[in-house]
């Protein structure tokens, strides 16, 4: 090959390599939290991501902020609502959908004792523990113990009856601080199986998350899809 032709071929190869690099998805190599609009301001984060709003399965990952970088600390298979996911701000109670958004995690609870090493605030479920989902009650979307007369049993969850799901759980702060009636109540990160709007992970993963979470590091949870209007990166 003549020198000029060789030089042109070399330049073309370099250009092709550069083009391939530039053509990669923006931020594809960056950790998911670095691509999000907000992570809650703390140094711990849980992400729950599904492929699309119609998905009922996905992945939960928990992250630590260390030395100015987000580092993956664990991951587990996840289940979402029976009817997939929906934008949290427009969700309807009884829709069997998991709300998307960024939420704080008020406290943990469980029928079983807190896993050894748990630092997070933890409430033990008793036979008198209920989660009020009655839209007409002053206790809407709150733990009640005992259940008040204004919160109908038929419109609430008797927590101790969910021995598998609520062996261990974290309250997700959806519709929690200023509850909107009809938007939904009792959204948790809990153990295994299909859900009516919560996020669930295997029991071992739930125990690992509770040992990992530290209240002083202000963990939040982001729920969303891989792309579109409910993309997790929007929250």
pLDDT in tens, 187-203: 999 999 889 999 999 99
Element (H, E) at 48: strand 44-50
Q: Side by side, which strands form the sheet with 130-132?
A: 142-144, 130-132, 156-158
Q: How far apart are CA 169 and CA 186, in angstroms?
A: 11
Amino acid 27: pLDDT: 52
In the chain, which stretches have pLDDT less than 70? 1-28
pLDDT at 29: 85
The number of C-alpha atoms within 13 Å of 25 and in the hemisphere containing its C-beta is 5
Residue 208's pLDDT is 98
**Contact predicate 69/184, CB 8 Å:** no
CA dist 160 and 129 (Å) reads: 7
pTM, rounded to two decimals: 0.88
Report the b/e string of 23-45 with b at 16+ CB within 10 A: eeeeeeeebbbeebeebbebbbb
pLDDT of residue 190: 98
């Amino acid at each position: 090959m003549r020198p000029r032709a060789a030089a042109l071929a070399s330049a073309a190869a370099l250009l092709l390599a550069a083009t391939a690099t530039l053509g990669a998805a923006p931020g594809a190599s960056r950790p998911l939290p670095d691509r999000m609009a907000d992570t809650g301001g703390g140094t711990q984060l849980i992400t729950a991501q599904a492929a699309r709003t119609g998905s009922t399965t996905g992945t939960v990952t928990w992250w630590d902020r260390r030395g100015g970088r987000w580092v993956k600390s664990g991951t587990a298979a996840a289940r979402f609502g029976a009817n997939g996911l929906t934008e949290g701000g427009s969700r309807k109670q009884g829709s069997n959908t998991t709300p998307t958004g960024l939420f704080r995690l008020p406290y943990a609870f469980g029928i079983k004792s807190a896993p050894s090493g748990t630092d997070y605030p933890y409430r033990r479920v008793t036979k008198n523990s209920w989660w009020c989902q009655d839209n007409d009650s002053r206790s809407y979307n709150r733990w009640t113990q005992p259940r008040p007369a204004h919160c109908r049993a038929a419109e609430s969850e008797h927590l101790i009856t969910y021995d598998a799901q609520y062996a261990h759980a974290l309250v997700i702060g959806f519709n929690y601080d200023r509850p909107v009636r009809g938007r939904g109540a009792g959204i948790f990160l809990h153990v295994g199986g299909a859900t009516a709007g919560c996020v669930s992970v295997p029991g071992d993963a739930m125990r690992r998350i509770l040992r990992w979470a530290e209240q002083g590091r202000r963990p939040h949870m982001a729920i969303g899809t891989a792309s579109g209007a409910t993309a997790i990166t929007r929250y």
